[in-house]
Structure 1
Amino acid sequence: MSRPPETPERDERRAELLDAADRVVRREGPRASMNAIAAEAGITKPILYRHFGDKNGLYRALADRHSATLLDHIREALAAPLDRRERVENVIDTYLGAIESAPQVYRFLAHPDPAADSLSPAGPLAPTLRAIAAELSHAIAAQVDLGPESNLLAEAWGQAITGMVLASGDWWLENQPFPRERMVQTLADLLWGRLAAAADNPGATNGE
């Protein structure tokens, strides 16, 4: 469904509707419905569709809103003047802190309504995860010598680290087995053994 061209007034109204959607999602998580969001905004559902096209459009708009802030924080964590181990912990803590501070928003974006079947398998978070993986890959390539295939290996590691932290963060958020600080240490310990070995022995990527 196409939407009318954006204007300053329309942009402002769209932002107000996203604020209403945000409030409902923070209360209800993946169960948030277009009906509930329209009621929160004091409008009818067709007006909501007019602004976002369909529920997938609303998913993407909310994902864009939250992912922009998360990406900024990830970049800041990667750029912080810390040693390698502290930087690893800082990045993991930044991500876990983001999902812990807005758990229902995270669930809404990471585990969307199955009825929204036109979304990619990774859901609305997919572009954000690709961007995080790219940021990690660039940081690894710049800071650790991985030998002749450094860029390719850094890209593979960036993808692997992102997937690991996503899956383990999902488990941690749902089960809360221990405080965030301990989860950060646990994941950093797992990553640091391999990263430290590469940092201490440049080019040794095959276990030599």
Structure 2
Amino acid sequence: MDEGVNHRDGRTERWRQHRLTRRKEFVDAAFRALDRHGPEVAMADIAREAGVAKPRLYRHFTDKADLFVAVAEHASELVWERLRPALSEPAPVRDRVRQCVQAYFAAVAEHPNVFRMVGDRRFLAANRPDPVAVGNTAMAGLIAAVFDQYLRAHDARSTGTLPWAHGLVGSVEAATRWWLVDGTLDRETIVEHVSVLVWGAMEAVLSSAGVLVDPEQPLDLDLDLDALPRL
């Protein structure tokens, strides 16, 4: 009897893994279709990219909005993957800022139509969580942790770390949306401008707490990246 139960459990797990794999394949196809057709891509375009009939998509996603939520979640995961190396290797603090900004915009530039869709958020339904807001909150938590480490290292404290962090994330998001729409600046130029913005904001807010930052000082962050919030 127990063996029969275990056998059914094994089949259930294999079916669950199969569905997860298929969902990921369809999300990857949606990325390719968005790259090709833009944010107004139709479900038929995505199904064609995936090599399936459109009804097959609806076996895994309730509607286009459900699929686009999964696309937004995957876009956030892509950003985290690109940021991890820049966050993990010690470097002077100003260099670290630029490396993070460069890694972020590399992800955006690889799939600009995906990030246009994500930034627009028209796919969201009123009764569904906003994956962009969840990702922004996770990013703000990371930046606040950096601020907290700097303050503690200088025997300082402030209640401003989270407001500062959310302000920075919002500023970068707004600059990204402008860049994707305007299209007049190349990637290296927007990276330089946003790096100045982020570094200047960090320097100013830490200075307001009595902490002066040497931009050439190596920064070895003690951050548990695996413990940070994820989508």
Same fold (TM over 0.5): yes
CA–CA distance in 1 between the matches of 2:127 and 2:174? 19
TM-score by length of 1: 0.79
TM-score by length of 2: 0.72
Q: When the two structures are aligned, how many residues end up with a matched partner?
A: 198
Cα 1:33–1:51 change in 2 (3 A) is same
Of 51, 67, 75, which residue of structure 1 is paired with 2:76?
A: 67
Cα 1:68–1:115 change in 2 (3 A) is closer
Between 1 and 2, higher relative CO (CA 8 Å, sep ≥ 6) is seen in 2
Q: For residues 157-205 of structure 1, what are the alpha-carbon distances to aligned partners after superposition, in whole Å with 9 as ceiling and x for unaligned?
A: 1111111111112212322333322322222323333433555x57238
CA–CA distance in 2 between the matches of 1:188 and 1:40? 36
Q: For residues 70-105 of structure 1, what are the alpha-carbon distances to aligned partners after superposition, in whole Å with 9 as ceiling and x for unaligned?
A: 113223323331111111111211212211111011
Of 197, 203, 210, which residue of structure 2 is paired with 1:204?
A: 210
Q: Is residue 156 of structure 1 aligned with residue 163 of structure 2? A: yes
2:45 match: 36
Please list every run of 5 or more consecutive structure 2 residues that lacks an aligned counterpart in the other structure: 1-11, 212-231
CA–CA distance in 2 between the matches of 1:71 and 1:77? 10
CA–CA distance in 2 between the matches of 1:25 and 1:136? 30
Kept in 2: contact 1:78–1:139 (CA 8 A): no
Cα 1:194–1:60 change in 2 (3 A) is closer
Please give the residue correspondences for 1:32-181 in structure 2 after superposition, counting only pairs within 5 Å: 32-112=41-121, 114=122, 116-118=124-126, 124-144=131-151, 149-150=157-158, 152-181=159-188
RMSD across aligned C-alpha pairs, in angstroms? 2.9
Q: For residues 44-71 of structure 1, what are the alpha-carbon distances to aligned partners after superposition, in whole Å with 9 as ceiling and x for unaligned?
A: 3332122012222211221222221211
Q: Aligned partner of 1:107: which letter? A: R
Q: Whose Rg is larger? A: 2
SS in 2 for 1:7: helix
Of 16, 21, 37, which residue of structure 2 is paired with 1:7?
A: 16
2:32 match: 23
Please list every run of 5 or more consecutive structure 1 residues that lacks an aligned counterpart in the other structure: none
CA–CA distance in 1 between the matches of 2:109 and 2:19? 32
